Amino acid sequence: MDAVLTRPSPSCPEVETIARVSTSETSDATLIEQVAEQQREAFEELYGRYARPVLGLALRRLGDRGRAEDSVQEVFTAVWRSAGSYDRTRGPGVAWLYTIARNAIVDAQRRRHVPTMADPPEVVSTGPTPDEEAEASWNTWRIHRALETLPEHERTVIDLAYFSGLSQSEIAAFLQIPLGTVKTRTRSGLSRLADGLEGEL
């Protein structure tokens, strides 16, 4: 297990950072349109929703944590400057943001002239094809964005089940909640993720 687990504790408030879970009902499309009008609150909301998916995308493209972190700001600069080009009749906000993020990361990569994992391999690869990689990248973007829509109690059990490798019983013991509640929250979380994927946010 990679992560060190820390049980959530009411007596130990989390450090105040960007909200992990967005509570706003405003769609991504509306937020982008508001960013086009230079509304800072909308930009903050978009950042809260997409900072981690953007960092994940940059990590996969660049393969270097330092450069990936640097590129996050470049992506959001591009979002701020390009928001006026968004047209909701041509697609959902999640797809527009993915395109902007991918292009900004590729541009940053080219400017630095540094070979990366994303550069064409010099030998015949037996790994995924470019199309498969693109599809995987897009799917990862979508599911990471959808994760940001989950309420904290569902997000916690999904994290523990999928990313920390705990069994449902171990999650129940860890969170000190009934096993049935763990299963209910897990199913509810999966359902909400499916809703987000279908609605494309």
Partner 1 sequence: MTDSGFPFDEIVADSDPDRARLREAHDLLLAAGPPPELPPSLAALPPIPQAQVITLPRRRFTAIASIAASAVVLFGIGYAIGGRDSPQQPVRTVAMQGPAGATASLAVLPKDPAGNWPMTLEVSGLAALPKGKTYTLWLTRNGKLAESCGTFAVAAGTTTVPLNAPYPLKEYDGWVVVRTGTTQPFVLQTETA
Site residues for partner 1 per CB under 8 A? 15, 17-18, 33, 36-37, 40, 43-44, 47, 51-53, 55-56, 59, 69, 72-73, 76-77, 80-81, 84-85, 136, 139-140, 142-144, 146-147, 158-159, 161-163, 165, 167-168, 183, 186-187, 190-191, 193-194, 197-198
Give 171's contacts (C-beta < 8 A, 6+ positions apart).
157, 160, 161, 182
Q: Which is nearer to partner 1, 109 or 120 (CB)?
A: 109
Compute the least distance from the CB of residue 141 to partner 1, in Å: 9
Residue 119: CB minimum distance to partner 1, A:
22
Residue 91 CB, nearest approach to partner 1 (Å): 15
Query: Which one, 47 or 96, has the nearer CB to partner 1?
Result: 47
Closest CB to partner 1 among residues 125, 167: 167
Nearer to partner 1, 44 or 107 (CB): 44
Closest alpha carbon to 140 in 102, 171, 85, 183: 102
C-beta pairs of 183-188 under 8 Å, 24+ apart in sequence: 185/153, 185/154, 185/157, 186/154, 186/157, 186/158, 186/161, 188/154
When the beta carbons of 57 and 109 are compared against partner 1, the nearer one is 57
Nearest distance in Å: CB 173, partner 1: 16
Shortest Å, Cβ 110 to partner 1: 20
User: Shortest CA distance to 144 belongs to which of 102, 193, 105?
Assistant: 193
Shortest CB 113 distance to partner 1, Å: 23
Residue 46 vs 109, nearer CB to partner 1: 46
